[in-house]
Chains A and B, each alone.
Chain A
Amino acid sequence: MECMFRRPIKEVNAEFIAEEKYLDSLQRTVRETCVSAGLSRRDVTAVHLAIEEGATNIIRHAYLYEKGTIRLRVVVYKKLIVFSLIDAGRSFQPEGAGRVDLERLVASGRKGGLGFYMIQKIMDSVEYISAAGFNELRMIKRIAPARPESRPFLRRLFTLRVKFSFWTFLSVLVIIGGAYYYIDRRTSQYLYDHLDDTVSSLAHTIAAQAALHAINHRSHVEFDELIVSYLQSNPELQLIVLTDSSGLILAHSEDIHNIRKPYKIPAFVSTAELGVPQRYRVNGQQYSYLMTPIRAGEVEIGLVHVSYSSAQIHDKLTRARWRIGVLTLVLLFFGIIGIYFLSNYFVRPIVNITRRVRRFASGDLETELPLEGAEEFFEISRAFNEMITRLSRDRKNIVAREKMAKEIEVASQIQKTLLPLELPSVPGLELDGYYRAAAIVGGDLYDVFAISPERYCITVADVSGKGVPASLVMSMLRTVIQIQSANAVSAKETLIKVNDYFEKNIPPGMFITVMLVIYESARREINFVSAGHNPMLLYKAGEGEVVRINPAGMPLGMPTTLGPAFEERLEEVQFTMEEGDAFFIFTDGITEAANREGQQYGIDRLINLFAAEMARSARLEISSLSKAIISELDDFSGFVKPADDITFIVVRSQPPESTAGMDLPPDSEEREIETKSVKNPGPEPTETN
């Protein structure tokens, strides 16, 4: 149905409950898909916002917060993503039917329409289709390629290919140039030597012929003919002069008038060097001058002077150099083009790797480099794949850990809201509660609440285990106690009802110990039960003693198959709070608090401390008592991290104004009070802890 010309790369379908708390998981799906499709970071955030608007709109307006589901479909194409949010609720007409205008929104001073405005701004196309009881909000977002950081133009010009071509060109040029220079030197040297040799042998021939003429006493004309014929057949020869042994001219190719006159040898020529060419320059042209003796037998009878030029060779060489130069340049030009394309072959694997790395960078953690190509690229690919594997594993771990930390934090916040912020005031009693979790989320509970204006429930409980599960059960427990206490006449009845609930609903292997106290303010009467909890410490002001009371009872959630039924074992204790009497209920976090040596604080220390503090602080605020207990505990355990939550409630019957505190020995005697069971007394009071 999507009339896109290309096939989709990926399609994601998911269904979510239309409640705000499920938005997070919907968003996670969207986000992951967007990231893997290569959407830029900014666009991912923007899409997140648009989807939130769309989904919130469905929850609020299509379903009016009632039950329903949101179907999410994300279809990824090469260059765009199509998001569809589909619901079966009421269809709505987007405000103003068409584009929402920001200025009008501001002018209206209302918030309606802002969401739709944002969707329109973020998405490249938005459609709302209502048909057959379903509404579809279809939004299309173009995938803009993430813009790479711009580099200076010159730097971008120097790609690997260009560099490769340039250096190859340069080295080929140097090699060719070197070779050419060498060959050129050799060749021209050879040519010049060859010319010297040729002229030298010519001069010898002329000398030999001149010698014959001289012996035969030929005329000057014949000498003249001799040199003219040689001049004509050898264009490199410039001048030929024949002289006799006394230096008089026999023949001169340029001057026939000075026959028999002395020949003036040019100044630059050394007469000593016979048979050796001597170089000289006239008007920038190079010439050579060669003198060869004319011999008749062993006797030197004259000299042949020859002057010749290397201009012809020079011209030839220059022409040859030009030709070679041009040819070389043409070949190099094609060579460079060839090298450039050849370099593609080497660079292509790098381009491939770059593309994959970029895909990885844009969030496709599944990408892998193919292990192929030259050994070097094979190694790079392998190293990269290893890196990816490790990175994505770490990332998954981090994501999981972050998620967990977040959940725990949420649980901790929920838990904090579940524990009473402030204890209610109870007529005739002073109360103080304390709670400190060992982990971020604890499993202890304390609560004080009014059942009716005359009846109050004071409770401390310890859920086995720590962390999120324990805290969830603890929050359940608090609710159940509050509900059940309203329908029960006594502590015992309340706890039996609470147990009925937990028997069915507690996770296996988990159990809860509870101390549940009900206080009737009119008669100052206490009745309480303990489901396997630590004993209550009761301070009798009259005697100045602390007793511990530990009625029988099994923890909530214990399998009933192990022994007598819960209600049969449960004992209820009743007593009246005299003025100044106090009791202390707590969890085993106190008695089991350990110090560095591994010693536990223990109940005896606690009893002594409680007795001493009660006596000392009879006229002080009750909170000073809890402070004393906490600081004593902290002193004891030092810097040892507590292993369990520490929770207690201390309750004191308000002394009349006149009653002064009584002095008591700090070491008060302790005794077990006789427990008074209401019905079905259990076999023996059990001591927890």
Chain B
Amino acid sequence: MENISISLSESDQDRVSEVRVDGVIDTTTAGELEEVMDSLLKRDRYRVVLDLAGVDYISSAGWGIFISHIKEVRANDGDIKLANMITNVYEIYELLEFDKVLKVYSSVDAAREDFPATSGHQSKKKASRSRN
């Protein structure tokens, strides 16, 4: 099957975690990304920017990760922001009307800057994590 590679870089300054994904996010590879997301949320890191420049294809398993977490993330003053989508992926994103739910940015920096400046207090985990 196709491969996926995920690299994570976390900044303590603006509390943003940047997840760079390369490859294809489908049923067979979505598990890895899910683990990364879970580990971030478990550590109260709710500001996530996904760099999708190297992603050729996202199946429902992939979109599902974003859609299923967005509520919890937003409830904790965070967001999942998608950056650098290639045209193919963006067209699907638009077609499926995910633009109503997830924000896209033309670059990681633009996504980063769109987070409000961190105030002194770190938001505590409020919503209980629903797993199925």
Contact = CB atoms under 8 A, between A and B. Distances in A.
Contacts of A46: 91-92, 95
Given A56-B27, A115-B60, A105 B67 contact: yes
A106 B71 contact: yes
B50 to A, nearest CB: 17
A102 B68 contact: no
A184 B106 CA distance: 72
Contacts of A49: 59-60, 92
A583 B121 CA distance: 63
A106 B101 contact: yes
A52 B59 contact: yes
Interface residues of A, number: 27
B60 to A, nearest CB: 4
B97 A121 contact: yes
Interface string A31-74: 00000000001100110010011001000000000000000000
Contact of B67 (A20, A111, A121, A122): A111
A418 interface: no
A21 B91 CA distance: 26
Contact of A45 (B28, B60, B67, B91): B91
A42 B86 CA distance: 12
Given A53-B60, A109-B69, A114-B60, A45 B100 contact: no
A53 B88 CA distance: 18
B130 interface: yes
Contact of A20 (B28, B91, B98): B28
Contacts of A410: 1
Q: Range of interface residues on chain B? A: 20 to 34
Nearest to A120: B96
A645 B59 CA distance: 38
B64 interface: yes
A107 interface: yes
Nearest to A52: B59
A110 interface: yes
B67 A106 contact: yes
A578 to B, nearest CB: 47
A41 B72 CA distance: 35
Given A20-B28, A49-B60, A110 B95 contact: no
Contacts of A413: 3
A472 interface: no
A110 B60 contact: no
B70 A118 contact: no
Nearest to A105: B67
Contacts of A110: 68, 130, 132
Interface string B25-43: 0111000000000000000
B26 A52 contact: yes
Contacts of A52: 26-27, 59-60
Contacts of B26: 52
Interface in A97-150: 102-103, 105-107, 109-112, 114-115, 117-118, 121-122
Interface in A222-247: none
B95 A109 contact: no
Given A42-B95, A102-B100, A107 B71 contact: yes
A304 B131 CA distance: 128
B95 A111 contact: no
Nearest to A107: B71
Contacts of A118: 60, 63, 96
Contacts of A103: 100
A111 B64 contact: yes
Contact of B130 (A53, A102, A105, A109): A109
A42 B96 CA distance: 12
Contacts of B92: 42, 45-46, 49
A48 to B, nearest CB: 8
B97 A102 contact: yes
A114 B67 contact: yes
A413 to B, nearest CB: 7
A115 B69 CA distance: 16
A49 B100 CA distance: 19
B126 to A, nearest CB: 14
Interface string B56-83: 0101110111011111100000000000
Contacts of B60: 49, 52-53, 56, 111, 114-115, 118
Contact of A102 (B1, B88, B101, B132): B101
Contact of B96 (A56, A109, A112, A122): A122
A56 B57 CA distance: 16
A117 B100 CA distance: 14
Interface string B1-27: 101000000000000000000000011
Nearest to B72: A109
Interface string A79-109: 0000000000000000000000011011101
Given A42-B92, A45-B57, 12 more contacts: A53-B59, A56-B27, A102-B101, A105-B67, A106-B101, A114-B60, A114-B64, A114-B68, A118-B60, A118-B96, A121-B97, A413-B3
Report the 4 A-B pairs with minimum CB-CB distance, sorted nearest first: A111-B64, A42-B91, A115-B60, A109-B71
Interface of B: 1, 3, 26-28, 57, 59-61, 63-65, 67-72, 88, 91-92, 95-98, 100-101, 130, 132
11 contacts: A20-B27, A42-B95, A56-B60, A102-B67, A109-B72, A110-B130, A111-B64, A111-B67, A112-B132, A118-B96, A410-B1
